[in-house]
Copies of this chain bind each other. A is one copy, B any other.
Amino acid sequence: MDKKGRPGRRRTLSEQDILDAALALLAEGGADAVTIRGIAARVGVAPNAVYTYFPDKAAVVRGLAEHLLGRVDHDRFADPSQSWRDRIRAFALELRAELLAHPGSVHLMLSHPPDGPHTQAVRETLLAILADAGLGRAAADASYLINTHLLGSVAFEVAAPPDDPEAGTTRFRWAVDRLLDGLAAHVAAVRAERSAPR
């Protein structure tokens, strides 16, 4: 695990190593377990070595959130042969599963909202589906709605897990369906107004 014992320019680390270690710590011990010293120990390096790659802990945490988002395959939901409702449902469930698999990741995303390429890719996939749904100008707001509900929902579930994990999934699915109903109603209303203006 440990690389060397003496200082010097040796390139024993990489940004990926740090993020991988951070992710492992997150999975094992929750958000509190993600510490600079813990990461360093796990990759076998002095704590300060981390600062060669990240300016401070907040940057590591942001990077970790990005890293996590990079693990979800969102291109899979771009296929327009399925209904937009099914696609969003599946997308939401997938993201939820990924977040639930790493306790603390939601907290971390809510306190240090990432904004790297992976984050934007996810956002764009969502926006594309919503555009297909005919939400037009409201697509951005709808995306925001889905996002915030997802994060809030998972955060709450992590903090206060239901007795039966299955029940959590059922409840989440129900909530997403209500959201989709609301969006569908809005689409219908917009369409109606467009065909019979003011």
Question: Which A residues lie at the B interface, using CB under 8 A?
Answer: 106-107, 110-113, 138, 141-142, 144-145, 147-153, 155-156, 159-160, 171, 174-175, 177-186
A-B contact pairs, 17 of them (CB 8 A): A110-B156, A111-B159, A113-B156, A142-B178, A144-B171, A145-B149, A145-B179, A147-B156, A148-B152, A148-B156, A148-B175, A149-B149, A149-B152, A151-B152, A152-B152, A178-B183, A181-B181
Q: Does A110 contact B107, Cβ atoms closer than 8 Å?
A: yes
Contacts of A181 in B (CB 8 A): 181-182, 185-186
Chain B CB count within 10 A is highest, among A112, A156, A171, for A156
> Nearest CB to that of A110 among chain B residues?
B155
Contact of A185 (CB < 8 Å), options: B141, B142, B175, B185? B185
Contacts of A185 in B (CB 8 A): 178, 181-182, 184-185
Chain B CB count within 10 A is highest, among A138, A149, A174, for A149
Chain A contact residues: over half helix, strand or loop, or mixed?
helix
Contacts of A156 in B (CB 8 A): 110, 113, 144, 147-148, 151
Contact of A179 (CB < 8 Å), options: B110, B150, B178, B184? B178
Contacts of A160 in B (CB 8 A): 113
Tell whether A141 pairs with B171 under 8 Å between CB atoms, given A155-B110, A179-B178.
yes
Contact of A178 (CB < 8 Å), options: B106, B152, B182? B182
Q: Does A141 contact B110, Cβ atoms closer than 8 Å?
A: no
